[in-house]
């Protein structure tokens, strides 16, 4: 039985990843500063640890028989609102976590290490620009500090891999969404925020959306993302690899999809707010080479996510 450590196990993607690893018959230890918010972790063991501390990272990777794989997803992160208001926290906390975790992993003899990077490491793109491959990250010009910190952590993971001769896999995630993702409180991302606003609105009502709604993004359903992470970790793909749904939609189109799924007529009021880049258009050819493809369209994913967010909104009202 393979053994895996998953960091960020109290968070959205890692929580789903652990379910997948259990289906693949792994023994899993989860580590996070908090427990998952919405349902119990499937991890065999869960350690509450602040991974900004090097001694806690050493504790996380310590096992009598050693871990075969580390999936490192812990980070101080959130949607655009959070990214634009907490640049110092993001840069300090995530850098500390990333530095200490890879150092602890290498010194405990881990053979395979996964790092979750982000499409935020890329520069802003114009709508309709040709697809950008992974190499297009350089010369680097991320739009925000979260992206710069991820880029630094990518380079650190690659440097450790090279110097110590161990296998590093890096995924650059597009936006990920699904049930049990943060849906309120300021760290939520666009799909969850729009699902919440539509769930709270009356049929025929109006929701507020930051910016003019023209910004274009790709949204990847969490089961697809987890499948990509697992396949990438088992593969021979070197260097950072994009993982994302090839379907690009504007924020206005995303609102229409959510309204359709909710079966509501929704009007949009555009207000000032942090929007992020205008557009993204990335090549997924590298991850396609290991037979991964997104199975869920944006609408498929929203059909699975909206009812969950709606149930959270209703439960919240009863509190
Ligand atoms: P999340 O916020 O739900 O999960 C991150 C987890 O890290 C949280 O549970 C948090 O408690 C934990 N964490 C933060 N500080 C910690 C600390 N000091 N010690 C221990 N744990 C700590 O985020 P997510 O959406 O599941 O993202 C997982 C990873 O994927 C992150 O590295 C994120 O940057 C990356 N990513 C996510 C997306 C997305 O759309 N969700 C897109 C690109 C990249």
Four-CA torsion 54, 172, 148, 143, nearest 10 degrees: -150
The finding on whether 13 has its CB within 6 A of some atom of ligand 1 is yes
Q: Confidence class of residue 81 from pLDDT cuts 50, 70 and 90? A: confident
Residue among 10, 45, 3, 52 nearest 24 (CA): 3
Ligand 1 atom at shortest distance from the alpha carbon of 15: 26
Closest CA to 191 of 91, 35, 297: 297
Task: Give the model's confidence band at 246: pLDDT under 50 very low, under 70 low, under 90 confident, else very high.
Answer: very high
Determine whether the shortest distance from the Cβ of 224 to ligand 1 is under 6 A. no
Phi, psi of 291, deg, nearest 5: 70, 25
Of 169-173, 252-256, 287-291, 315-319, the range with the lowest mean pLDDT is 315-319
Residue of 13, 59, 184 to mutate, ligand 1, most atoms within 8 A of C-beta: 13
Contact 217, 257 (CB under 8 A): no
- Asked whether residue 52 carries a pLDDT value surpassing 90, the answer given is yes
pLDDT value at 319 more than 90: no
Distance 67 CA to ligand 1 centre (A): 21
- pLDDT given at position 273: 83
The structure's pTM equals 0.97
| 88-135: pLDDT as tens digits | 999 999 999 999 999 999 999 998 999 999 999 999 988 888 999 999
Q: What are phi and psi of 224, to 5 degrees?
A: -65, -45
Per-residue model confidence (pLDDT) at position 82:
86
Number of neighbours of residue 203 by Cβ within 10 angstroms = 10
Residue 218 in contact with residue 246, Cβ under 8 Å? Answer: yes
Question: In the chain, which ranges are continuous DSSP H helix?
Answer: 12-23, 54-61, 80-85, 87-89, 95-107, 145-164, 190-200, 222-234, 251-262, 285-288, 298-318
Q: What is the mean pLDDT of residues 237-245?
A: 97
pLDDT value at residue 128 = 85
Q: What is the pLDDT of residue 280?
A: 85
Distance 222 CA to ligand 1 centre (A): 13
DSSP for 112-151, written as a single string: EEEEEEEGGGSPPB-TTPPPB-GGGG-S---SSHHHHHHH
Distance 98 CA to ligand 1 centre (A): 12
Query: What residues are labeled active site?
Result: 146
Token digits of residue 142: 């991320």
Model pLDDT, residue 28 = 98
Q: Does the CB atom of residue 154 touch ligand 1 within 6 A?
A: no
Number of the ligand 1 atom closest to the C-alpha atom of 175: 40
Report pLDDT for 74.
98
| Dihedrals phi, psi of 27, to nearest 5 degrees | -95, 125
Q: Are 144 and 120 in contact (CB under 8 A)?
A: yes
Residue 23 pLDDT grade (very low, low, confident, very high; cuts 50, 70, 90): very high
**What is the mean pLDDT of the segment spanning 240-250?**
96
Q: Would you say residue 180 has pLDDT above 90?
A: yes
Burial of 69 (0-12, 13-18, 19+ CB in 10 A): buried
Residue whose Cα lies nearest atom 8 of ligand 1: it is 11
Whole-number pLDDT of residue 243: 98
User: For residues 173 and 170, what is the distance between their CA atoms, to the nearest angstrom?
Assistant: 9
pLDDT score recorded for residue 138: 97
* Average pLDDT value over all residues in the chain: 95
End-to-end CA distance of the chain: 43
Q: What is the mean pLDDT of residues 162-183?
A: 96
């Amino acid at each position: 039985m393979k053994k895996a450590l998953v960091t960020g196990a109290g968070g959205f993607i890692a929580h789903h990843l652990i379910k997948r690893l259990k289906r693949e018959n792994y023994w899993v230890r989860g580590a996070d500063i908090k427990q998952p918010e919405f349902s119990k972790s499937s991890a065999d063991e869960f350690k509450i640890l602040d991974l900004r501390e090097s001694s806690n990272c050493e504790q996380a990777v310590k096992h009598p028989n050693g871990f075969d794989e580390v999936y490192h997803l812990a980070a101080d992160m959130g949607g655009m609102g959070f990214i634009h208001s907490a640049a110092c926290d993001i840069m300090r906390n995530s850098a500390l976590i990333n530095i200490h975790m890879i150092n602890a992993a290498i010194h405990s003899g881990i053979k395979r290490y996964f790092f979750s990077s982000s499409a935020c490491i890329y520069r802003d793109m114009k709508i309709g620009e040709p697809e950008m491959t992974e190499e297009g990250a350089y010369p680097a010009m991320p739009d925000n500090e979260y992206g710069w910190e991820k880029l630094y952590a990518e380079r650190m993971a690659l440097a450790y891999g090279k110097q110590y001769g161990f296998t590093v896999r890096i995924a650059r995630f597009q936006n990920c969404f699904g049930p049990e993702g943060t849906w309120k409180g300021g760290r939520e991302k666009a799909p969850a925020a729009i699902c919440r606003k539509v769930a709270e609105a009356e049929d025929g009502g109006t929701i507020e959306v930051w910016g003019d709604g023209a910004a274009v993004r790709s949204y990847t359903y969490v089961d697809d993302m987890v499948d990509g992470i697992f396949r990438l970790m088992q593969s021979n793909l070197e260097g950072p690899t994009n993982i994302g749904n090839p379907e690009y939609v504007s924020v206005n189109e995303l609102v229409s999809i959510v309204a359709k799924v909710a079966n509501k007529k929704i009007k949009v009021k555009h207000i000032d707010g942090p929007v992020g880049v205008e557009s993204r258009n990335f090549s997924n050819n590298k991850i396609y080479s290991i037979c991964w493809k997104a199975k869920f369209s944006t609408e498929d994913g929203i059909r699975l996510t909206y009812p969950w967010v709606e149930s959270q909104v209703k439960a919240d009202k009863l509190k």
